[in-house]
Amino acid sequence: MDNVRTANVFFIAFFYKLFIVFLEMKNLLYFFSMFLSLSKLLFNRKSHKRRTKLLFKADHYK
């Protein structure tokens, strides 16, 4: 009985660790995509302005 309990605790801890690692991976991907989009905005500021102007015109003439 004791061995079964320790095995259950081990499995629970193992899956808990996997879950935490998975969440951290998701957060890292989220921050990485945020960083990429921010850098795109910073580097393509002119094209971004042009795109927003076009979008504004499209909204205006809708």
Q: What is the pLDDT of residue 16?
A: 92
Structural domain for 43, as ranges: 2-60
> pTM for the whole thing?
0.40
CB 41 within 8 A of CB 48: yes
Read off the pLDDT of residues 2-12 as tens digits, 9 standing for 90 and up. 777 888 888 99
SS3 track for 14-54? HHHHHHHHHHHHHHHHHHHHHHHHHHHHHHCHHHHHHHHHH
How many domains are there within the chain? 1
Read off the pLDDT of residues 10-62 as tens digits, 9 standing for 90 and up. 899 999 999 988 888 888 888 888 888 888 877 766 655 665 666 666 555 54
Does residue 60 sit in helix, strand or coil?
helix
**Number of Cα atoms under 13 Å in the Cβ half of residue 22:** 6
Q: What is the pLDDT of residue 60?
A: 56
Instruction: Quote the crossing angle between the two packed helices 45-60 and 2-43, to the nearest 10°.
Output: 80
